[in-house]
Amino acid sequence: MSSHEILQIITRSDWGGAPRVVESLATNIDDVTAVACGPGGRLINRLKKQGVQVHVQPYLQSTPHPKDVLAYRDLRQLIAGGEFDLVHSHSTKAGALARLAASRVGVPSVFTVHGWGFYNTEYGSLRPIVIKGERFLERRTDEVVCVSRNDLREGRRHGILSEESGTVIHNGIPPLQYSSNRSTLYDEFEIDPDTPIVGSIGRLAAQKDPIAILKTAKQLRDDGYEIATVLIGSGPLKDKCIQYVDEHGLDSVYMPGFVDNALEFLPDFDVFLLPSRFEGFPLTILECLHAGVPLVAHDVGGVAEAIDDGKTGFVVPPDADNSRFVGRVETLLKHPEQRREMGKRAQQVAVDRFTEDRMVSDYRRLYDSIL
């Protein structure tokens, strides 16, 4: 029987990095007895199937909205009526509303920063307000967890965290398992087995910048490389991606949309591309490390803390003309032996540093220190 009652709260329930962390904690720590989240996403059914109590919050959403007042009201009522000993919130909106509610009710709270909200390049003039809000909320939080050392540094640089506050717990994932008769990208799209595959698995959204991946594919084609480009995922930029492919006459580009078993295809990538505009500590990188797939990624957020540049992949600064990014991809395409060596080293790093067991143990110790 659980000795404490811990409530996890996250804004969105659609599948992604932060919801996967919530699932790991909710299904591996007995004290985590319930999860509250916004409606409509895969996280809800996944948790329910594993026996986790889920409180769907109909007014909880990412973008600022007048109904945030109702979302706060519901969370406050939930926390007050649930006899919870600790509230652990994730993501900017849930982090703000849950911490305010917990403070008002008198329940200790933890907030995990999966990349600070002010990283979002779409916030524009709202960024100073977000920063001031985080400073205010930090004084009402028992512990702020950063998923990367970069987030910790940025929190301190912006006056949100003091030199003594904040802690780092890197994300981790369970071992990847593949069925012996799994379908491959070569089978699915009738790709020649001798053709290298580059691309990504992720949302077709501004943060992940899928257009940059297609620009890379165009440059590789123009430089004489015969490749297949695969973008697995859906999102608001899908139509723009299709338009780019059509306008530039790109052949061998495959965009199947959201695929439920997408990780089954991960080992088929020769080079995984992650030209993100901002990140916290993306689980996509950890998946590639576990699968032994070398990456080329932009040096944003905690990316460089997961990829050992030149050994398990390449980390490059965001470049306006994409030239350095493309150059690193070409290096890996020209040297298949280097790709294989990187993959082997990546798998060892994953086992040593980025497992779900390690992450869960770190959070369990944090909860114990507060409770």
What pLDDT is attached to residue 26? Answer: 98
| Domain ranges (residues) in the chain | 6-174+355-370, 185-353
Average pLDDT over residues 331-338: 96
Q: What is the pTM of this model?
A: 0.90
pLDDT tens for each residue of 57-83: 999 998 888 999 999 999 999 999 988
By residue count, the chain amounts to 371
Helices (H), the chain: 17-28, 42-49, 68-81, 92-105, 127-138, 149-157, 185-189, 210-222, 238-247, 283-291, 303-306, 323-334, 336-353, 356-370
Give the pLDDT band of residue 181 (cuts 50, 70, 90).
confident
Q: Do domains 6-174+355-370 and 185-353 have the same CATH topology?
A: yes
**In the CATH scheme, what is the code of domain 185-353?**
3.40.50.2000
Q: What percent of the chain lies above the pLDDT cut of 90?
A: 87
What pLDDT, on a 0 to 100 scale, did the predictor assign at position 2? 56
- 311 neighbors 347 (Cβ within 8 angstroms): no
Rounded to an integer, what distance in angstroms lies between the CA atom of residue 161 and that of residue 346? 32
pLDDT confidence band for 143 (50 / 70 / 90): very high
Residue 3's pLDDT is what? Answer: 84
Q: Please state the CATH superfamily assignment of the domain spanning residues 6-174+355-370 in this structure.
A: Glycogen Phosphorylase B; (3.40.50.2000)
Q: What is the pLDDT of residues 277-307, one digit of tens each?
A: 988 899 999 999 999 999 999 999 899 999 9
CA distances from 332 to 40, 185, 261, 337 (A): 40, 19, 26, 9
The whole-angstrom separation of Cα 186 and Cα 224 is 21
Query: In whole angstroms, how far apart are CA 33 and each of 12, 43, 84?
Result: 19, 15, 9
Q: Quickly state the pLDDT bin for 1 (edges 50, 70, 90).
A: very low
Burial class (CB in 10 A: 0-12, 13-18, 19+), 365: exposed
pLDDT for residue 123: 64
- Residue 354 pLDDT > 80, yes or no? yes
Hey, what amino acid is at 19?
Answer: P
Expressed in angstroms, the distance from the first to the final Cα of the chain is 16
